[in-house]
């Protein structure tokens, strides 16, 4: 009897242990799949947005294998087509975004990607992912959790007993201290340690990049273009100050790869750095468009529309504002702010169309055609002017005067046009640069004397964007852009 | 008379760890306890009394041999234990509890509940004289009170068999008397009691049968009448002096317990009581009384244990 | 059905009284007070940070520190309780009065184990409630993710508790099981390291190396890996790209339960024929 019981008990124990081990395998499979899933999202984001490749790592190779093996995602078209023009570096090297890349555009597809990550379909890719991650061959799976223990012994991961996040927090307190002591280089190194310990420490990316792009650079002067050097890592001409912008950008990009569903990171990248600091509206629009694809706060789209307007995408901005005012009709921004922007963008759009009509008129050979286009252009311009008049206040008046100045210039009344623009630029500060450029252009066209400061400005503008070591292709592009502006 | 507890060839060996020797705690023990009696289970420290009791309760497991309790050999099973109340030696009780809460807890473990349990609690508390302290925390109990509450928890389910390990240790004489009365009362109600003790006087006063254990071997077992030899007679006399003592001794009358002029004369088997009385008269001693002299349990114990010790030495 | 209820009645009473006794332990109350102090103190951690920056970073700090505090003190309480419920009764001989009652050993063990779990759960809840309140006061919304995190923490404790309990059944005092319990916690977190041992051992191709590697792998497959529960620190901040918790949490719960059952069976095997 007792003997019998003993065997039953032993059997039960073995059975439970086998079940527990099996469950352990399942949990391990899930955790490995989770790592794989996170890496896949990071690789997808990188492919779609950054095209940040490095020969040293094998992410791209593995990601291609994932795409080749993922039959279940076939036909999963992105719900929304990219609303903006592809930015200068938006098109991937092979010309199109892969299946997983497309699917990852919409956060609603995450369950599909997760299903893929843990499916048997990609079993061998997942196995090689783990192997490569452990041996640090993957750039986007540098999370020490997956890395093999260092040669010297136990890895960091093992030492913290799962309290890495707490360690990251305490390190962050030290980062904060370094910031107050002005130890920027130490701060940067420690910030990276912090995010290595906790790759999902979103606030660290946000505050860290804010320190870099704003606080560190606040006391520095803009580096004059001739003194900058081409930095291939950043794809830009940088000086001592500008370097920090790109460090901030890369820091945020790291954050985005690790947390591709957090809108704040996209927002800070697009708005705080690209728009506010680099005045690169193309990229600002690109990342803000990404931000609104993620679950976001209400104020995020507004910045996108503003950047679209600044980037000359009036139609998109207009549609966006109209949609916004419909959705948030009861809010103050919906009632007061949105209508102003709608008007302004309508004006911009009409103005743009009128210019297109005038250009068509100039290009047409048939006089009747020419005249028809010109009339249409005039009509559109009149409409734009009406809208600006209704808009009123400083911004509306500035824009209206800009049209009036254009009209005066067309009648060769350059002196009056310049005087009007000068008045307008003092009234509408945000148009200052644009109006100043126009003044210089009309002075040049009307053979009017230019001031010393304007001369200096023109000298500066000529080689703006050029620096030592800039590649030929890039140089050409900048020169064309400068020529167009002046 | 049916048998309550019976062991046959019960052997327990504690295996020594590493280089220590095995300890043979019990050697082929044959114990018989009848229903409705108080059985005194005696033996010096380390003789194996507690080992036997623990095996009866399934706390230890026999190396060989069997135990039958109320005809069942499933020792340690719930159905057997239901009939046993056990008071361990020197046990503590959860001392964050009040007296009555302890009883409630143990009563519930017996499967009692509701009105039944409350009635039993009141009865046992009354029985052990703890009704006044039922609401007090055990922490504040004296040793005697703890022992009483221990007895109460053993009695809570009104079991047929009571096993008490040193029930009167640490109690004052009055309390001992009370406990003794309680135990005797229980026997009268038909309970079987197994009392393990060093307190030979206590045992002698209430036990029906005793077993004497030494080094794991049952040296003697039987009723007190069977075991205690009723060999000789003592004569109490007054007016003894030193000269008389030596002369009496020559004649074969040994003087015991002499207090000044009073003495007890032990009549050796060589002479009869009549001859002794004659001698007393001859020495002109004042006769106080003549009594049969029965061996005390203590003497029996010392005799048996001493004999066993000397056999072992040889 | 009646027999089933009868079987669990005894364990339930034992559990309730174990709980009532355990909750009064001074050491336990000490741990609890310490952890409450840390949780409370964590609310002031943000004073170390730039007071002018308006960010959520202090919230994250509080969350992470509190989850870690609950883990550490919770583990101490778990180990302390699991290691002492049985040896404590052996030491003061209360166990004799209980095992001599019509209670089977498995029922006794079950009662003690459940009692220990009750103590652990109540302590966890106490810490959790304070943490919950601290977050609620700061954030103004109910931090429901915390509940999931606490649930996972408990299932982690369940494994540690069951194994410590098994060890304690082989012991007569609480000291050794407590130390072994801590050891279980530490090694349970280092299970991942066995994989590295296996990877490294197989490099020379010698039979001894291979054997070490094989053993390491076998242990890796069989031993519980407490790092699996690190999800509890991940989900607490509620990032939008958290892993799908609806898959992971039930699986981790099953994982914890299975190992706890194994640990309990182990305790039973040890206790089954234990001589008291």
Would the pLDDT of C244 be above 60?
Answer: yes
Cβ pair B153:C97 closer than 8 A: yes
Position A71 scores a pLDDT of 67
Q: Which residues contact C132 (CB under 8 A, 6 or more apart)?
A: C142, C143, C146
* Sign of the dihedral through C-alpha B145, B147, B153, B154: negative
Q: In what helix (H) or strand (E) does residue C249 lie, and over which residues does it extend?
A: helix C245-272
Q: Which residues of chain C does A158 touch, with a Cβ-Cβ cutoff of 8 Å?
A: 189-190, 192-193
Interface probe for C, chosen from B87, B108, B109 (most Cβ of C below 10 Å), is B109
Cβ pair C234:A200 closer than 8 A: yes
Domain count across chain C: 1
Of the candidates C97, C273, C276, the beta carbon closest to that of B54 is on C276
> Per-residue pLDDT tens for B131-177?
998 888 888 888 888 888 888 999 998 899 999 988 887 788 888 88
Position C202 scores a pLDDT of 65
Position C254 scores a pLDDT of 95
**Partners of residue B98 on adjacent β-strands:** B137
Position C124 scores a pLDDT of 92
Range of the domain at C179: 2-272
Of the candidates A26, A154, A168, the beta carbon closest to that of C251 is on A26
Residue of A nearest to C229 (CA): A162
Would the pLDDT of A84 be above 60?
Answer: no
- pLDDT mean over A161-168: 76
Q: Which residues of chain A does C261 touch, with a Cβ-Cβ cutoff of 8 Å?
A: 16, 20
- For residues B104 and B135, the answer to whether their CB atoms sit within 8 Å is no
Cβ pair B153:C100 closer than 8 A: no
Angstrom distance (rounded) from CA B50 to CA B56: 10
Cβ pair A24:C225 closer than 8 A: yes
List residues of C whose CB lies inside 8 A of any B CB.
6, 9-10, 13-14, 17, 20-21, 24, 92-94, 96-104, 273, 275-276
Q: How far is C267 from chain B (nearest CA, A)?
A: 17
Would the pLDDT of C15 be above 90?
Answer: yes
Cβ pair A259:C199 closer than 8 A: no
Q: Which residues of chain C does B108 touch, with a Cβ-Cβ cutoff of 8 Å?
A: 9-10, 13
Q: Which residues of chain C does B90 touch, with a Cβ-Cβ cutoff of 8 Å?
A: 93
- pLDDT mean over A244-255: 92
Position A82 scores a pLDDT of 44
Q: How many residues does chain A have?
A: 486
Position A77 scores a pLDDT of 47
Cβ pair C241:A21 closer than 8 A: no
Cβ pair C100:B79 closer than 8 A: no
Position C50 scores a pLDDT of 63
- For residues B218 and B314, the answer to whether their CB atoms sit within 8 Å is no
Cβ pair A24:C262 closer than 8 A: no
Q: So what's the ipTM on this one?
A: 0.89
Of the candidates A158, A176, A259, the beta carbon closest to that of C190 is on A158
- For residues A137 and A57, the answer to whether their CB atoms sit within 8 Å is yes
Q: What angle do CA B279, B281, B282 make, to 5 degrees?
A: 60
The model carries a pTM of 0.85
Neighbours of A159 (CB within 10 A): 13
pLDDT band, residue A83 (cuts 50/70/90): very low
Least confident of A330-339, A455-464, B133-142, B299-308: A455-464
Cβ pair C50:A34 closer than 8 A: no
- pLDDT mean over B171-189: 88
Average per-residue pLDDT for chain B = 85
pLDDT band, residue C82 (cuts 50/70/90): very high
Q: Which residues contact B120 (CB under 8 A, 6 or more apart)?
A: B103, B107, B112, B156, B157, B158
- pLDDT mean over A452-476: 83
Position B24 scores a pLDDT of 86
Cβ pair C65:A259 closer than 8 A: no
Q: Is A202 on the interface with C (CB under 8 A)?
A: yes
Position A89 scores a pLDDT of 42
Supply φ then ψ for residue A484, to 5 degrees: -65, -40
Neighbours of A187 (CB within 10 A): 23
Cβ pair B88:C96 closer than 8 A: yes
- For residues A206 and A175, the answer to whether their CB atoms sit within 8 Å is no
Interface probe for C, chosen from A135, A156, A203, A264 (most Cβ of C below 10 Å), is A203
Angstrom distance (rounded) from CA A445 to CA A437: 12
Radius of gyration of chain B (CA): 24
Q: Which residues of chain C does B97 touch, with a Cβ-Cβ cutoff of 8 Å?
A: 17, 20
Interface of B with C in 146-175 (CB under 8 A): 150, 153, 163
Cβ pair C233:A163 closer than 8 A: yes
Cβ pair A295:C240 closer than 8 A: yes
Q: Which residues of chain C does B54 touch, with a Cβ-Cβ cutoff of 8 Å?
A: 96, 276
Q: How far is C42 from chain A (nearest CA, A)?
A: 12
Would the pLDDT of A392 be above 80?
Answer: no
pLDDT band, residue A146 (cuts 50/70/90): low
Position C25 scores a pLDDT of 81
Residue of C nearest to B111 (CA): C10
Q: Is B16 on the interface with C (CB under 8 A)?
A: no
Q: How far is A110 from chain C (nearest CA, A)?
A: 9
Of the candidates B59, B60, B109, the beta carbon closest to that of C13 is on B109
> Per-residue pLDDT tens for A413-446?
888 888 898 888 888 888 888 888 888 888 888 8
Angstrom distance (rounded) from CA B209 to CA B222: 5
Supply φ then ψ for residue A348, to 5 degrees: -55, -45
Chains that touch B (3 or more CB pairs under 8 A): C
Q: Which residues contact A123 (CB under 8 A, 6 or more apart)?
A: none
Would the pLDDT of A5 be above 60?
Answer: yes
- For residues A66 and A100, the answer to whether their CB atoms sit within 8 Å is yes
Q: Is A131 on the interface with C (CB under 8 A)?
A: no
Written in H, E and C, the secondary structure of chain B is CCEEEEEEEEEEEECCCCCCCCEEEEEEEEEEEECCCEEEEECCCCCCHHHHHHHHCCCCCCCEEEEEECCECCCCCHHHHCCEEEECCCCCCCCCCEHHHHHHHHHHHCCCCHHHHHHHHHHHHHHCCCHHHCCCEHHHCCHHHHHHHHHHHHHCCCCCEEEEECCCCCCCHHHHHHHHHHHHHHHHCCCEEEEEECCHHHHHHHCCEEEEEECCEEEEEEEHHHHCCCCEEEEEEECCCHHHHHHHHHHCEEEEEEECCEEEEEECCCCCHHHHHHHHHHHCCEEEEEEEECCCHHHHHHHHHHHHHHHHHC
- pLDDT mean over A472-478: 85
Position A330 scores a pLDDT of 86
Angstrom distance (rounded) from CA A171 to CA A179: 12
pLDDT band, residue A153 (cuts 50/70/90): very low
Angstrom distance (rounded) from CA A168 to CA A186: 15
Is residue C205 exposed (0-12), middle (13-18) or buried (19+ Cβ within 10 Å)?
Answer: exposed
Position A152 scores a pLDDT of 39
Q: Which DSSP letter does residue C225 get?
A: -
Position A485 scores a pLDDT of 66
Cβ pair B57:C100 closer than 8 A: yes
Angstrom distance (rounded) from CA B157 to CA B86: 11
Q: Which residues contact B37 (CB under 8 A, 6 or more apart)?
A: B187, B192, B193, B208, B209
Of the candidates B59, B77, B97, the beta carbon closest to that of C96 is on B59
Position A150 scores a pLDDT of 42
Q: Which DSSP letter does residue C242 get?
A: -
Domain count across chain A: 1
Q: Which residues of chain C does A114 touch, with a Cβ-Cβ cutoff of 8 Å?
A: 243-244
Q: Is B106 on the interface with C (CB under 8 A)?
A: yes
Cβ pair B88:C100 closer than 8 A: yes
Range of the domain at A116: 26-144
Position B215 scores a pLDDT of 87
> Per-residue pLDDT tens for A20-52?
999 999 988 888 888 888 888 888 888 888 887
Would the pLDDT of B231 be above 80?
Answer: no
Asked if the structure places residue A124 within a domain, the reply is yes
Residue of C nearest to B149 (CA): C97
- pLDDT mean over A378-399: 84
Tokens of C28: 């336990």
Q: Which residues contact A365 (CB under 8 A, 6 or more apart)?
A: none
Cβ pair B92:C94 closer than 8 A: yes
């Amino acid at each position: 009897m007792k003997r019998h019981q003993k065997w039953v008990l032993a059997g039960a124990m073995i059975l439970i242990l086998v079940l527990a081990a099996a469950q352990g395998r399942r949990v391990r499979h899930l955790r490995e799949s989770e790592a794989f899933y996170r890496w896949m999202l990071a690789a997808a984001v990188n492919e779609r947005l950054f095209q940040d490749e490095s020969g040293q790592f094998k992410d791209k190779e593995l990601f291609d294998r994932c795409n080749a093996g993922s039959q279940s995602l076939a036909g999963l078209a992105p719900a929304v087509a990219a609303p903006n023009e592809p930015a200068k570096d938006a098109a991937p090297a092979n010309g199109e975004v892969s299946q997983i890349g497309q699917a990852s555009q919409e956060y609603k597809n995450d369950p599909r990607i997760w299903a893929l990550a843990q499916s048997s379909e990609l079993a061998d890719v997942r196995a090689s992912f783990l192997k490569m991650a452990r041996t640090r061959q993957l750039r986007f799976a540098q999370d020490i959790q997956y890395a093999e223990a260092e040669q010297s012994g136990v890895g960091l991961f093992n030492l913290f007993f799962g309290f890495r996040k707490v360690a990251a927090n305490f390190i962050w307190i030290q980062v904060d201290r370094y910031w107050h002591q002005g130890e920027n280089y130490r701060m940067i190194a420690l910030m990276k340690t912090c995010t290595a310990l906790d790759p999902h420490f979103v606030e660290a990316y946000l505050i860290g990049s804010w320190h870099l792009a704003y606080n560190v650079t606040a006391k520095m002067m803009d580096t004059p273009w001739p003194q900058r050097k081409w930095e291939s890592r950043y794809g830009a001409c940088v000086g001592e100050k500008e370097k920090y912008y790109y460090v901030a950008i890369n820091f945020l990009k790291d954050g985005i790869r690790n947390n591709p569903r957090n809108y704040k990171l996209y927002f800070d990248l697009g708005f705080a750095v690209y728009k506010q600091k680099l005045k690169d509206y193309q990229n600002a629009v690109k990342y803000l468009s990404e931000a609104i694809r993620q679950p976001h706060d209400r104020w995020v789209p507004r910045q996108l529309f503003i950047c679209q307007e600044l980037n000359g995408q009036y139609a998109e901005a207009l549609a966006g504002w109209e949609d916004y005012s419909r959705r948030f009709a009861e809010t103050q921004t919906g009632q007061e702010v949105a209508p102003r922007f709608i008007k302004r963008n309508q004006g911009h759009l009409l103005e743009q169309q009128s210019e297109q009509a005038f250009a068509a008129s100039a290009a047409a050979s048939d006089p009747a055609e020419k005249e028809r286009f010109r009339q249409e252009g005039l009509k559109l311009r009149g409409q734009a002017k009406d809208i600006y008049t209704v808009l009123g206040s400083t911004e509306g008046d500035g824009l209206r005067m800009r049209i009036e100045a254009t009209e005066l210039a067309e009648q060769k009344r350059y002196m009056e046009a310049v005087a009007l623009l000068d008045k307008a630029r003092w009234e509408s500060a945000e148009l200052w640069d644009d109006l100043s450029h126009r003044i210089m252009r009309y002075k040049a066209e009307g053979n009017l004397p230019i001031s010393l400061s304007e001369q200096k400005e023109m000298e500066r503008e000529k080689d703006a964007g050029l620096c030592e070591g800039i590649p030929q292709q890039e140089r050409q592009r900048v020169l064309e852009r400068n020529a167009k502006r002046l | 008379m049916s048998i309550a507890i019976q062991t046959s060839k019960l052997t327990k060996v504690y295996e020594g760890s590493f280089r220590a020797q095995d300890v043979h705690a019990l050697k082929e023990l044959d114990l018989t306890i009848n229903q409705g009696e108080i059985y005194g289970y005696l033996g010096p420290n380390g003789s194996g009394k507690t080992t036997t009791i623990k095996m009866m309760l399934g706390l230890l497991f026999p190396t060989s041999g069997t135990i039958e309790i109320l005809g069942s050999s499933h020792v340690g099973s719930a159905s057997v234990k239901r009939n046993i109340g056990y008071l361990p030696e020197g046990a503590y009780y959860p001392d964050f509890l009040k007296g009555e809460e302890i009883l409630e807890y143990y009563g519930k473990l017996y499967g009692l509940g509701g009105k039944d349990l409350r009635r039993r609690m009141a009865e046992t508390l009354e029985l052990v004289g703890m009704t006044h302290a039922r609401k007090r925390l055990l922490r504040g109990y004296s040793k005697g009170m703890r022992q009483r509450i221990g007895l109460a928890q053993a009695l809570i389910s009104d079991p047929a068999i009571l096993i008490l390990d040193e029930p009167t240790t640490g109690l004052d004489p009055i309390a001992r008397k009370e406990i003794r009365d309680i135990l005797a009362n229980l026997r009268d109600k038909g309970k079987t009691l197994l009392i393990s003790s060093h307190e030979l006087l206590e045992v002698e006063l209430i036990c029906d049968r005793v077993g004497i254990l030494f080094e794991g071997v049952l040296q003697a077992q039987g009723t007190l009448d069977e075991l205690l030899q009723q060999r000789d007679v003592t004569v109490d006399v007054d007016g003894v002096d030193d000269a008389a003592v030596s002369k009496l001794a020559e004649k074969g009358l040994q003087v015991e317990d002499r207090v000044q002029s009073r003495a007890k004369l032990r009549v050796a088997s060589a002479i009869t009581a009549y001859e002794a009385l004659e001698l007393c008269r001859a020495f002109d001693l004042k006769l106080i009384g003549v009594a049969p002299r029965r061996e005390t349990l203590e003497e029996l114990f010392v005799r048996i244990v001493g004999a066993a010790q000397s056999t072992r030495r040889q | 059905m009646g027999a089933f209820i009868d079987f669990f009645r005894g364990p339930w009473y034992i559990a309730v009284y174990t709980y009532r006794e355990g909750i009064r332990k001074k050491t336990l109350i000490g741990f609890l007070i310490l952890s409450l102090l840390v949780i409370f103190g964590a609310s002031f951690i943000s004073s170390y940070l730039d007071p002018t920056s308006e960010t959520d970073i202090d919230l994250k700090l509080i969350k992470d520190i509190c989850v870690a505090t609950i883990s550490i003190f919770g583990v101490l309480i778990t180990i302390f309780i699991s290691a002492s419920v049985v040896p404590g009764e052996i030491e003061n001989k209360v166990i004799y009065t209980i095992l001599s009652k019509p209670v089977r050993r498995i029922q006794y063990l079950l009662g003690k184990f459940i009692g220990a779990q009750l103590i652990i759960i109540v302590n966890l809840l106490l810490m959790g409630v304070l943490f919950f309140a601290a977050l609620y006061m700061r954030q103004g919304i109910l931090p429901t993710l915390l509940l999931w995190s606490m649930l996972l923490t408990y299932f982690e404790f369940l494994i540690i508790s069951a194994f410590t309990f098994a060890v304690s059944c082989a012991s007569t005092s609480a000291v050794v099981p407590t130390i072994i319990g801590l050891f279980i916690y530490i090694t349970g977190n280092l299970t991942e390291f066995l994989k590295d041992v296996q990877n490294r051992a197989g490099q020379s191709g010698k039979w001894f190396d291979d054997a070490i590697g094989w053993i390491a792998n076998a242990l890796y497959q069989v031993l519980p890996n407490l790092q699996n529960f690190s999800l509890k620190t991940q989900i607490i901040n509620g990032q939008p790209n958290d892993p799908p918790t609806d898959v992971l949490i039930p699986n981790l719960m099953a994982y914890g339960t299975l190992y706890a059952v194994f640990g309990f069976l182990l305790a039973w095997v040890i206790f089954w024929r234990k001589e008291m």
